[in-house]
Amino acid sequence: MSRIGKKPVSIPKGVTITVKDSVVTVKGPKGELSQEIDRDITIEITETELTVVRPTEQIRHRAMHGLYRSLISNLVKGVTEGYKKDLELVGVGFKAVNAGNILDLALGYSHNIIFEVPKELKVTTTTEKGQNPKIFLEGSDKQLIGQVAAKIRGLRKPEPYKGKGVRYSDEVVRRKAGKAAGK
């Protein structure tokens, strides 16, 4: 049995969950999210919790059991608390400025990179003296925030020698030694 799949998802007050034609829709104070699930998996909803049930012990059903429970749990957390990702720009002359959902990044290339953040997310940037510029992404969709943060990080990944690049604020970059001095 899937340990994650067996755990029920608690439904907080103010959140409504509906299942129609194998599409789970979750509405809450921070918005509305939906997730399509496999037609074999069934959802049982009570007053305070939701349970994901699989029909058989087939490998395919066992694989999807915990997956869909986690995805639905992420939807519930997203519409109640929301998700946040922080990125940090490490490097001389690296800058980040946003105007609405347009992000203007100076990452050491010959030109600035203009990155359009989806309208479902809220982006803010800070630049304090003596600190690296930071980018904050907020929204209710965990998958979308992770995807956008990975794309921004992919514009200039942290390199192992000086550690320059775009990194997550909690990321640890393994450093390598430079070339050894000659005789």
What residue ranges do the domains of the chain occupy?
A: 3-80, 83-168
* Fold designation for 3-80: Outer Surface Protein A; domain 3 (3.90.930)
Find the mean pLDDT for residues 8-17: 92
Instruction: Pick one of 3.90.930.12, 3.40.50.170, 3.40.50.720, 3.30.420.40 as the CATH number of 83-168.
Output: 3.90.930.12
* pLDDT attached to residue 107: 93
The predicted model scores a pTM of: 0.88
Does the pLDDT at position 1 exceed 60?
Answer: no
Output phi, psi for 97, to 5 deg.
-135, 135
Is 3-80's fold the same as 83-168's?
A: yes
- Helix spans in 121-178 (H): 142-154
Does the pLDDT at position 28 exceed 70?
Answer: yes
Q: DSSP state, 41?
A: -
Read off the pLDDT of residues 70-103 as tens digits, 9 standing for 90 and up.
999 999 999 999 999 999 999 999 999 999 999 9
